[in-house]
Structures are given as structure tokens and as C-alpha cells.
Amino acid sequence: MSDVPGGVPLVSTFAELLDRARPGGATGRRRIIGVAGSPGAGKTTLVEAVLAGLASSGDHRQEGWLAHVPMDGFHLADVELARLGRLDRKGAPETFDASGYAALLRRIDAAQGTGETVYAPAFDRDIEQPVAGSIPVLPQCELVVTEGNYLLVDDPAWRRVRAQVEEVWFLDADADADGDVRRSRLVERHVRFGKSREQAEAWVAEVDEPNARLVTATRDTADVLIPGSLQLPG
């Protein structure tokens, strides 16, 4: 592992990430790790790869010892965004329930040892709406990985989210040519879920990219930096 010019440790291999994520120590305390990055950076793909790598590592822990809790479950519903006049910028920081997100992470942390299953919301991309009670964090869960664009944003509501996360990794998908890949990925995602290509390209330019610039400005406050080009298994 090396440092980038901003002083943030830079991960060079997937194995380093697995070592960094793996629970351990005498306390056995439940860990909450966050992954931040711009829209379309590949955060979900990275998290799924890390969790799959840990699950197959031969640690022989109980089923349910890992959980993936994305920020996207805290999208405000379209009906509320319309009431607030924010529907045309869905995905911006102010279109999420950041306080609710922080409260859930705090509850997940406090539930350790109580035998309680904590339920988190998910985001259904087929209907483009949050769905409550979709993701169980079981009593035996040792590691929760949460991911979202705004974990490092310096705003009161998002600082409360950051306070509940042990460390935040930043997936940097805008280095070199990776930014073009990220934007293309976003356009294809919007097309896949119902927008015309023209609408998708306009949305990426007018909504997603301003959000990406905001997120990129937070990268030097991360605990570790992950290059978008990092080789994942498979």
C-alpha cells in the first residue's frame, strides 16, 4: 500500500482490501465500513466482490455474518421529491434521508449482542423507489459494508452518517480514462431503466456530473483510496 499526493493510503491489490475488511481482534465488535465514490464508479460491484471474497475465504463463520446496506435505500420517494420540488435532481444529496440513514447505522451498531435483527431499506431500480424492510442485518452479523456517494460530504446531516462508520474507502473511478467509463456506465444504466438515450445523456450531464464533482472533492478525507482500475476477481 502506498500514499497518493493527498496523503491517503492507496490500495494496490484486492487481497489488501480483504485483509482490511476482515473482522478480527479480541473484542469481536461488529464493524461498519463505508465505500464512497461518484455515481457510476462501481461501488456496488466492489462491495459485492469484497463480501464474496470474505464469504469464500474459509473463515467458517455462521451464515449471515456479512451484510450489505446501501445508502440508496434512503432515497426519498418520488411523491415526496415532487412535494419538495426536487424530483428533477433525484440523486443529489438533498434527495436522501441522511438523518434516517445515520439513525439506522447507529441502530445496527447498538443492536450487537441483543439478538435483534435490524431491517434496512433497499432501492428497487425496476420501480426507482425505496422499499422498506428489505435487508436483514442478523444478530450474528460481524461486518456491515455500506456504500453511497455522499459518505464524506462535509454537511451536518452527512457528518452524522460518517460518525457511524469505522472507516470509509473511496473508489476513484475518474483517474485517467476511467471517468469516461463511469459516465458511459451511467448512461447505459439510465437507458436500461427507462430513459431514452438522449434523456439519459442529458441527465448524466445535468444531474449526475455535478454530484460527481461534489463527491470527488471529498476523496482526500477518505481513510483509503481504491483506484477504479483495481483488478477484481472473476
- Could you tell me the sign of the dihedral formed by the alpha carbons of 145, 149, 176, 166, in that order? negative
Distance CA 36, CA 150 (A): 7
Distance CA 185, CA 49 (A): 18
Looking at residue 37, what is its pLDDT? 94
What would the grid cell of residue 121 be?
431499506
What are the phi and psi torsion angles at 191 (to 5°)?
A: -65, -45
Over residues 130-144, the pLDDT tens digits come to 999 999 999 999 999
Over residues 151-203, the pLDDT tens digits come to 999 999 999 999 999 999 999 987 655 678 888 888 888 888 888 999 888 88
What is the model's pTM? 0.90
Residue 39, Cβ density class (10 Å: 0-12 exposed, 13-18 middle, ≥19 buried): buried
Over residues 69-125, the pLDDT tens digits come to 999 999 999 999 999 999 999 999 999 999 999 999 999 999 999 999 999 999 998
Q: Mean pLDDT in the chain?
A: 91
Looking at residue 122, what is its pLDDT? 97
Domains of the chain: 2-226 (3.40.50.300)
Mean per-residue pLDDT for 40-51?
Answer: 94
Considering only residues 17 and 5, tell me which one the structure prediction assigns the higher pLDDT: 17
Looking at residue 27, what is its pLDDT? 54
Residue 24, Cβ density class (10 Å: 0-12 exposed, 13-18 middle, ≥19 buried): exposed
Nearest to 57 by CA among 69, 67, 66: 66
62 near 139, Cβ under 8 Å? no
What would the grid cell of residue 224 be?
483509503
Considering only residues 27 and 230, tell me which one the structure prediction assigns the higher pLDDT: 230
Q: How does DSSP assign 27-41, residue by residue? A: S-PPEEEEEEE-TTS
Q: Report which residue type is found at 70.
A: P
Q: Which residues contact 93 (CB under 8 A, 6 or more apart)?
A: 149, 150, 153, 155, 158, 211, 214
Looking at residue 125, what is its pLDDT? 86
